[in-house]
Structure 1
Amino acid sequence: MPLLHRIRRCLLLMAGLFVLAIVARRQITGDGWLEAVYFFVITVTTVGYGERSVVGPVEQIYTIALILFGTTLVGYTIGLVLQAMFEGQIRRAMGLQRMTREISHIADHTIICGFGRMGKTLVDELKRRNKPFVVVDSDQESIVEACDEGLLAVHGDATDEDTLLAAGIERAKTLVVALRSDADNVFLTLTARNLSRSLRIIARGELLSTEKKLLQAGADRVILPAVIGARRIAQMVTRPHAADMLELVTDNQTLDAELEELSIGPGSPLTGKSVREAGTRQRHRVMIIAIRRSDGRMVFNPEPDELFCHDDTVIVMGKQPDVVAFQEAYKL
C-alpha cells in the first residue's frame, strides 16, 4: 500500500479513536467534555495520573486498553509521517552518491546542457545508439524527470565550472550547449572551452547574430534551429522527393538503414585498399557515401580507385547488421 494511503488510514483511525475515547469516558465516568479530552491527551501521551490508581476496575480495564492501542497507533502514525519526510531525502542522497560514482567512471561521453525539448530528443537518439551521456540542468523538476528515467544527471548551473567538472567535462568527448538563452549559451561555451581545449562543442543559437559569438567563444559547430527548419521547408517546396529521401535517411525508425561513420585505425586491413578492392557494395552490401580525410577534406561519392588511408573516416549507409559486419571485417 502506498505510504500516503497508510498515513491517511492511520489519521482516520486516530480521529475515530479520539471520538470513541471521549464518548466512552463520558459514559463511564460522567465527566464533562473538557475532562474527557484531558483524559485522552494524558493517556495517549503516557503522562499518567500518578503511581497509584484511584479508579474502579471498569475504568482500569478501559484505561489499559486505551493506553495500549492509543500509544501504538500514535507511534505508528508518527513513524509514517517521519518516513514520508525523510525517506525521499535519504533516497535522493543515496541516488546522488550512486550517480556521482557512475559519472566518475565514464569517459568519452557527451554532456547535454539543457534538458528541454532539444535535449530530450537528443537523449532518445543517444540512448538508441548506446552512447554514454550526462544531462545537466538547473531546473530541479527536469533533473527529477531525468533521474526517474534512469539517466545520469547533474543538478546545477551549467555555466558554473564546478557543475561541468561534476559532469566529467575533463573526460568528456562532446558538449552540447542547449540552454534557454543565447547569452547563457555563449557564456557556457566560453567556460567549457577554458576547461578543455580538446572538447568538441556543439552549440545551439536562436539568433543569426549569435553564431559568430558562439564560434568566437570556442564552439566547433553552431546549430541554428530556425535556419535549419527554414531550409528544410524550402527543400520540401522546391525538391519534395529529395526532401523525403533526406528525411528517411535521418529518421532511422522509418528507413531500414543506418548512416554511420567508421574510423580507420592502426592495423585495419582497409588501409591502402581502393573502394573497388574493398568490395563494400558487392560483399558487404553497404554504400560508401563519403570519405573524410585526416586533413579535414571530404570526398563525396568516391571513385572506385579512391584509396582508403590511415586515420580516414568512412561514412557508410546500409542495414545495421551489414554495417556491423563491415566494421568487424576491417577492424574499424
Structure 2
Amino acid sequence: MAKGSWRRLRRLDETLTAQPSYALVGVLRIPARLTSPARVISRRVAIAVVALLVVALVVYFDRDGYRDSQGDALGFLDCLYYSAVTLSTTGYGDITPISNFSRAVNIFVITPLRIAFLILLVGTTLEVLTETSRQALKIQRWRSRVRNHTVVIGYGTKGKTAVAAMLGDEVVPGEIVVVDTDHSGLERAAAAGLVTVHGDATKSDVLRLAGAQHASAIIVATNRDDTAVLVTLTAREIAPKAKIVASIREAENQHLLLQSGANSVVVSSETAGRLLGIATNTPSVVEMIEDLLTPDAGLAIAEREVEPAEVGGSPRHLRDLVLGVVRDGRLLRIGAPEVDAIEAADRLLYVRTPGH
C-alpha cells in the first residue's frame, strides 16, 4: 500500500464510522464477484458491436438526410461505414448529414453513443481510475444493508477454523465479516469471499464499521486473553443482543470473559489437553469427536426447532439422537427430569447424519 494510503488509515483512528465511504476504501473490503478476463473482453466487444449497429440503423432509417461525397444513395454498408468512422472519431467527411433532423440526431443520439464507445475502448484504464469510486459505492451499499451477520475477530488458526465450520454449515461467505490487523490474514479472508475490516477490534468504531451493532453473533478469536477481554467488553457495549462466543488460552480467565459479556467461552488449552489425554487410551473417541465437530463430513452436532408432532413427547423417543434440549437459552442434558416432556419453544441439540 502507498505511503499516502497508510497516512490516511492512521488518521481515521476513532472516527471510522463518520468517514465518507471513499475514505474507507482499503479499510473495509467487500468481496467482488470473480469474472474471467475472456468474459469481460467478450462483453465489451459485444457492447461495442451493439453500439455500432444502433448508429448504423439510425443513419440507415434517415439515409435521405445524409449526402455521399459522390452523390450516390446510401446503402446499409455505407451507413455501417459511417458509424465506424464516426464512433471512432476518425471522421473522413465523405458522408455528412445535410438535413436539420439528421444533424439533430447526430447531436442527441450519435454523439452520446460516440462518447460511450470511446469510454468502452479505454475501459481498462478507466477501471483503474474508477476503482476507488466503485469500492466506495459498494461499501456504502453494504453498510446500509448488513444485518444479522457474524463478525469474526481475528483470522488466525482459531478464527479461520471457526469460519470453515460456518461455511461447512452452509453459511453464506458474504454474511461473515473478519476484523484483524494482519494484512496477510485479511488477504486470505478476502480470497475466501469474506468481508474484511482492517483495524483494532478493541476500538468501538472498528466494530461499528464491521456492523457489530447489527450482528447476530460475534466470535472473539484473538491470540491473547487480555485482548479477548477488551474486545468482548467493547462488543457487548455496542451489541447488547448479539451472541458473543470467545476463545481463550487459560481457564483462569474464563470468568473474566463471562463477566465481560460473553455468552460462551471456549478454553482452547484445556480442550486440547482433554483430547490429548483421551487419545492415549481411546483414540477412536477423539476421531469421533472430531467427526461430530466437522459439519461437512460424516456426523455433526446440530440444533433444530421442535416439530408440532413432537410437543409433549420424550426426546429419547425421537427419530434423531437428541443430546440435549435448549430451553429459555439454557442447555438441559437429556437425563434431566425437566426434559421428559418437550415444549413447543424448545430447541433440540441432536446428532445430524449425512444427508439430513
Give CA-to-partner distance per residue, 1:7-52, whole Å, 9 cap, x none: xxxxxxxxxxxxxxxxxxxxxxxxxxxxxxxxxxxxxxxxxxxxxx
Q: Distance in 2 between matches of 1:206 and 1:242?
A: 23
Give the unaligned 5+ runs of structure 2: 1-36, 38-121
Structure 2 CA distance for partners of 1:218 and 1:144, relative to 1, 3 Å: same
Instruction: Report which structure shows greater RCO (CA 8 Å, sep ≥6).
Output: 2
8 A Cα contact 2:165 2:294, kept in partner = no
Q: 1:289 Cα deviation (Å)?
A: 2.4
Q: Does 1:144 align with 2:187?
A: yes
> Residue in 2 aligned with 1:234?
277
Q: Relative to structure 1, is the Cα distance of residues 182 and 279 closer, same or farther in structure 2, using a 3 angstrom cutoff?
A: closer
Q: Could you tell me which amino acid in structure 2 is paired with residue 308 of structure 1?
A: I
Rounded to whole Å, the distance in 2 between the matches of 1:92 and 1:219 is: 37
1:104·1:168 contact (CA, 8 Å) conserved in 2?
no
Matched, 1:98 2:138: yes
**Partner Cα separation in structure 2 for residue 270 and residue 103 of structure 1:** 42
Partner of 1:223: 266
SS of alignment partner, residue 170 of structure 1? helix
Tell me if structure 2 keeps the 8 A contact 1:291–1:300: yes
5+ long unaligned stretches in structure 1: 3-79, 323-332
- Kept in 1: contact 2:151–2:215 (CA 8 A): yes
Q: Distance in 2 between matches of 1:208 and 1:308?
A: 34
1:48 corresponds to? none
Q: TM-score scaled by structure 1? A: 0.60
- 1:170 is aligned to 213
Contact 1:99/1:153 (<8 A) preserved: no
1:272 counterpart residue number = 311
Matches within 5 A, 1:181-196: 181-196=224-239
Seen in structure 2, the aligned counterparts of structure 1 residues 203 and 149 have a Cα distance that, compared at 3 Å, is same
The structure-2 alpha-carbon separation of the partners of 1:101 and 1:273, relative to structure 1 and needing over 3 Å to count, comes to same
Q: d(CA) in 2 for partners of 1:94 and 1:147? A: 17
Output the amino acid matched with 2:202.
Answer: T
Q: Would the aligned equivalents of 2:305 and 2:347 in 1 still touch at CA under 8 Å?
A: yes
Match in the other structure for 1:51: none
Contact 1:119 1:178 in 2 (8 A): yes
Distance 2:140 2:230 in 1: 25
Query: For 2:164, which of 113, 124, 127 is the aligned residue?
Result: 124
Which of 304, 323, 330 matches 1:296? 330
User: Kindly tell me: are residues 312 and 182 of structure 1, through their superposed partners in 2, closer, same or farther at Cα, counting changes over 3 Å?
Assistant: same
Question: Does the alignment pair 1:261 with 2:303?
Answer: yes
Which residue number in structure 1 is paired with residue 340 of structure 2? 306
Q: What amino acid sits opposite 2:179 in the alignment?
A: V
Paired residues of 2:165 and 2:295 also in contact (CA < 8 A): no
Post-superposition shift, 1:302?
7.9
Counterparts of 1:83 and 1:130, CA distance in 2? 38
Whole-angstrom CA distance in 2 between matches of 1:142 and 1:260: 29
| Paired AA for residue 109 in structure 1 | H
Match of 1:287 in 2: 321
User: Cα RMSD over matched residues?
Assistant: 3.1
Cα displacement string for residues 236-281 of structure 1 (whole angstroms, at most 9, x for unaligned residues): 12333333322222234542x33210134xxx514634148x9632
1:124/1:245 CA distance change after superposition, 3 Å: closer
CA distance in 2, matches of 1:149, 1:254: 20
TM-fit CA distance, 1:216: 2.0
Of all paired residues, the percent bearing the same amino acid is 24
